[in-house]
């Protein structure tokens, strides 16, 4: 629903990595997003747990929590260009890889966080819920995407109230509108 609204209201092209509940590995999702060359990546997710506690939406952006700057990535990069046995080959010219998976998101940390906050604001306004907030975590899927990227956990499937919301066309439409508005707000800030 959100993809359709984004296309209709904003005139943007939406590429879905999945259209059903097929299991698609995280690296394949990231690769599909990177190959599509999109401007944004929004992963919609409905979680679940054994507990039936009520839980509202929450938004995530990538944050390594260990390394706060690209400069801190030096030793890992050094290992990737090292020769056999871990010693660096003298005089060897090692072409840099096009994109290192672990570094794909580094250029987009601030814009990803901004997109996550815009999603939180717009969803709260549209679905009349507080949500749980915006969080930075070392989520692999987001780490591997080479564009501003967020994961929107729309709720918990083990929450009976959330299951009812998913069956409510008005709720789904309002949530989709909140996502579309966040994309619109993000685009406006980038101009």
Q: Is 50 helix (H, G, I), strand (E, B) or coil?
A: coil
Q: pLDDT 10s digit of each residue in the chain, 191 long?
A: 788 888 888 888 888 888 888 888 999 999 999 999 989 999 998 887 777 777 789 999 999 876 554 433 333 333 333 333 333 334 445 544 445 667 788 899 999 999 999 999 999 999 988 899 999 999 989 999 999 999 999 988 888 888 888 889 999 999 999 999 999 999 999 88
Question: CA 49 to CA 182: how far, in whole Å?
Answer: 28
Residues belonging to the chain = 191
Contact assessment for residue 174 and residue 5, using Cβ atoms and an 8 Å cutoff: no
Question: CA 191 to CA 181: how far, in whole Å?
Answer: 16
* E strand map for the chain: 41-47, 58-62, 134-137, 149-156
């Amino acid at each position: 629903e959100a993809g359709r609204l984004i296309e209709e209201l904003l005139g943007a092209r939406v590429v879905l990595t999945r259209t059903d509940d097929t299991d698609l590995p995280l690296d394949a999702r990231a690769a599909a997003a990177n190959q599509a060359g999109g401007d944004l990546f929004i992963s919609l997710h409905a979680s679940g747990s054994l507990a039936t506690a009520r839980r509202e939406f929450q938004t995530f952006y990538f944050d390594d929590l260990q390394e706060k700057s690209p400069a801190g990535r030096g030793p890992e990069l050094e290992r990737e260009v090292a020769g056999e046995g871990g010693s660096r080959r003298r005089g060897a010219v090692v072409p840099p890889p096009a994109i290192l998976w672990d570094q794909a998101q580094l250029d987009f940390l601030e814009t990803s966080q901004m997109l996550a906050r815009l999603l939180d604001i717009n969803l709260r306004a549209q679905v009349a819920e507080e949500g749980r907030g915006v969080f930075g975590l070392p989520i692999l899927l987001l780490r591997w995407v080479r564009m501003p990227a967020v994961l929107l956990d729309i709720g918990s499937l083990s929450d009976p109230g959330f299951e009812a919301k998913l069956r409510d066309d008005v709720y789904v439409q309002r949530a989709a509108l909140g996502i579309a508005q966040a994309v619109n707000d993000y685009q406006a800030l980038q101009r």
